[in-house]
Every structure is written in structure tokens, then in C-alpha cells.
Amino acid sequence: MHIDFAPPSNGTYNNAGSSRQLANYLEHEDLERIEKGIYTEGFFNLTNDNIYKSKVLKDIDTNIGQLLKTDAKFYAIHVSPSEKELRAMGNTEQEQAEAMKRYIREVFIPEYAKNFNKELSASHIKFYGKIHFNRSRSDNELNMHCHLIVSRKDQANKKKLSPLTNHKSTKSGIIKGGFDRVNLFQQAELGFDKLFNYNRQQTESFDYYNTIKNGSIS
């Protein structure tokens, strides 16, 4: 399982303004699949499927109370299972897509909320997901992955939530809460294994890859 936060840029992932450019990009695959008569997935959130892009834009772009012009208004997150993990999620694209939505709703978003250490639950997080089935630069047979647009503000448009802060699990001081991305990746992996009864080998684990990359888990 590979999870990453797209770094803000001046292009598709520019998150200081409207989410329109990112939302438009997330629909690019649909046209190709529709022309071929292949099944597509609309936007989804914690409770609903097949949400119109206009609803996504309105919800994300108006949930910006007390944010400055240059502040991040949303974050883009990619959730990309390996081919082996995808096979554990179902036998068809539709089965795998349904499993992905279940994983995002039941594991990833609850863990994301919990990781702010502000007594938040999944229902506090305003997000929209879009499933893609292809990757242009991949030789893999299976390439399904999920893009998430997550609002900087909570559902009530009151609390600022930044998963890119460098503060981790801060209990005191000016900044309380923080966000520990390593912990999120670990818990999201454990949740995947439990949800899909997945027998993960050590060499597939986040801790293994992180140790190889950085020399330690943290």
C-alpha cells in the first residue's frame, strides 16, 4: 500500500485556490472509459456514491472560513494498493472499487481523523474520493488507485486541519494536536490487513520500506 500527499504546485495540485483544476483532472479517465463502454466510478464521500463534480467544487471551495488567500484550502492524497493487495480486494474492477470505497470510509478516513489528536472522527472530515483504474506510466496489470480531495477545514468549517504540519502528537504549547504521518501509514496498513484478511509479508510492510529508505522507522 502506497499512500502519499501530493505536494502543492502551480498546476493541478495548486491548493491555495479553487479545487476545480484538480476535480477536472480527476474526471479525465471517465471520458475514455465511457467511449469504450467500460464501467466508471463517480465521486464519493463518507456516505454517498456518484456525486456530481459541481457538488464537490461547491463543498470544498466554500469550506474555507478564516483561511488567508495563500493558505492551503484542501489537500490531495493518493491511496495506491499493490497488485497483490488489489487481488485481495476483489476479482473484478467493480468489486475492487467497492472494496476501495469501503477501505477509505471504514479505515483510512477514521485513521486520518484520529491522527490529529483532536478527538475527531470520520464524520468531522470533509472529503471526496475518485477512483482511477489506469496509470499511464505503469507496466502492472492492475493499477486501480484512489485520489482524495480533503478540505483543510473540518465539516463544521471551524477547525483547521493540516496533515502536512511538522508537529507530531503535540499535547502542549501553541500548537496542540499535530499530525504523525508515519503513524497514519502504519495504522492504515494494519486496518487494510484486518479488513481484507490480508496476510502481509514483512517485505511488503511500510516499516520495511521506510527502514530501507531512511535507515529507521521514524
| Domain spans in the chain, listed from the N-terminal domain onward | 2-214
Give the fold, CATH level 3, of 2-214: BirA Bifunctional Protein; domain 2 (3.30.930)
Evaluate if residue 217 carries a pLDDT over 70. Answer: no
Helix, strand or coil, per DSSP, at residue 43: strand
The contacts found for 141-144 with CB under 8 angstroms, 24 or more apart, are: 141/83, 142/83, 142/86, 142/87, 142/96, 144/81, 144/86, 144/93, 144/96, 144/97, 144/100
Q: Which residue has the higher pLDDT, 64 or 213?
A: 64
pLDDT of 174 reads: 46
**Kind plus residue range of the DSSP H or E element containing 145:** strand 145-151
The rounded mean pLDDT for the chain is 92
Cα radius of gyration (the chain): 17
* Residue length of the chain: 218
pLDDT of 103 reads: 98
Evaluate if residue 168 carries a pLDDT over 70. Answer: no
Express each pLDDT in 60-74 by its tens digit: 999 999 999 999 999
Residues 156, 121: Cα–Cα separation, whole Å: 13
Q: How far is CA 218 from CA 6, 158, 180, 181, 208, in A?
A: 20, 31, 10, 10, 11
Residues 191, 196: Cα–Cα separation, whole Å: 9
Which of 30, 55, 42 is CA-nearest to residue 129? 42
